[in-house]
Amino acid sequence: MQGKLLDSIGFLKEFDPAIAETMEREFIRQKDGLELIASENYASPAVMAAMGSILTNKYAEGIPGDRHYGGCQFVDEMESLCIERAKALFGAECANVQPHSGSQANAAVELAILQPGDTMMGMDPGSGGHMTHGDATNYSGTYYNVVSYGVDPQNGLLDYDRIRDQAKKAQPKLLIAGASAYPRQIDFQIFADIAREVGAVFMVDMAHIAGLVAGGAHMNPVPYADIVTTTTHKTLRGPRGGLILCREEFIDRINDAVFPGIQGGPLEHIVAAKAVCFREAAEDSFKTYTRNVVKNAKVLAEALSDEGFDIVTGGTDNHMVLADLQSFGVSGHGLQNKMDANNITLNGLSLPGSATGGIRVGTPAVTTRGMGEAEMKQIARCIALTARDFPGTTDEVKAIVKSLCEKYPLYG
């Protein structure tokens, strides 16, 4: 990552030192720690500059060329460029760049396709799916009839034959593929075939893998799906926000579902930041980055296995690794808290069939800092030392973390 950060903290110190102080401590936390949360990354200075811009002043309800406010001629140009970049990056017919988050992108699609009580089918959140795919505590599980599919408890993999049988029985109106905690490539062709067999609209939530898709390191769902949703941060390394890609036949319904369906005015400063990140993701250097993300994840999985962790599915095809902690006798959230104290952040999570749960670790952020295979082995050692809770572990782990962060500075 090149370029200097805008000194927003220094600027803010003059007006609101209390907020500036919390921002400074968060910057130090990011700078001096290792970020292994699979859904987090570091936005570039260019992306952050767009987010902190005068575009935040402009209301622009509607879509380019059809706004409810005057004075939108320049944000129309910017948002139209953002749309074109998104379409080109992923090979999509149409795009809506306004959703404030991936969850709101999913909500808009479900609103566009379903009526309350209609059947939707997605991955069980307990098996790695996202809450918007039908969790009982989420709007999706409240307003729609949800049929969930999971993974094979023996190997942790999707069982496509079983999913096909479930779909034939349930006859969903919307079939969703995509996950928040699944370390293997998803075969979108098979899902598309299943959707056609049962007459369902096929949606892919590629929030976790969007950057890998953009960089050619993962199968692109766009040619197979009717609708694709994603966040724009995570592996895509842009601002926190959402994006919907779709076939032309769905774009009017999608646009209406976003506004006025679930949102008012789009955040045009965030839309501008999305446009910047789409430009960055189209560069050759980003392709190299995504290949390194996957390579690092594979090395990290192997190194964790060598340290005694039980790796779910036996490895990874993407940016994340799931590790069961039963052999260590510690819970996923317990280890998460211990790692936090040692300046490493990761996720504890429940795993099907596991008494202790496990951890989800990802390589996007550490790869952004420039770390490679040797560093992944050091990181695996840090996780293992902490899990075993050996005497003196904290000092040893913190020393390794400090060395890595100094060698690979954030925004250096």
| Residues with catalytic function | 59, 61, 205, 231, 234, 240
Q: Which two tokens stand for residue 381?
A: 């050692």
Token pair 């211990």 is found at 338
Distance CA 332, CA 358 (A): 4
> What are the C-alpha distances in Å from 54 to residues 5, 73, 75, 86?
18, 15, 11, 23
Helices (H), 114-267: 139-143, 160-170, 188-198, 210-214, 251-256
| CA torsion through residues 379, 385, 386, 388, sign | positive
Degrees to nearest 5, angle at CA 81 with 78 and 83: 110
- Tokens representing 218? 């993962």
**Dihedral angle computed from the Cα positions of residues 380, 382, 383 and 386, in that order, rounded to the nearest 10 degrees:** 160
What CA–CA distance (Å, rounded) separates 24 from 230? 30
Helix (H/G/I), strand (E/B), else coil: 324: strand
Pairing of strands 174-177, 34-35: unpaired
At residue 346, what are phi and psi to the nearest 5 degrees?
Answer: -155, 180
Give helix 17-32 / helix 393-407 axis angle, nearest 10°: 100
Pairing mode, if any, of strands 358-362 and 320-324?
antiparallel
In order, the DSSP letters of 36-93 are --TT-----HHHHHHHTSGGGG----EETTEESSSS-HHHHHHHHHHHHHHHHHHT-S
Are 99 and 105 in contact by the 8 Å Cβ rule? The answer is yes
**How many H helices and E strands in the chain?**
16, 15
Q: Measured on CA atoms in the order 126, 128, 133, 139, is the torsion positive or negative?
A: positive
Crossing angle for the helix pair 332-341 and 373-388, to the nearest 10 degrees: 110
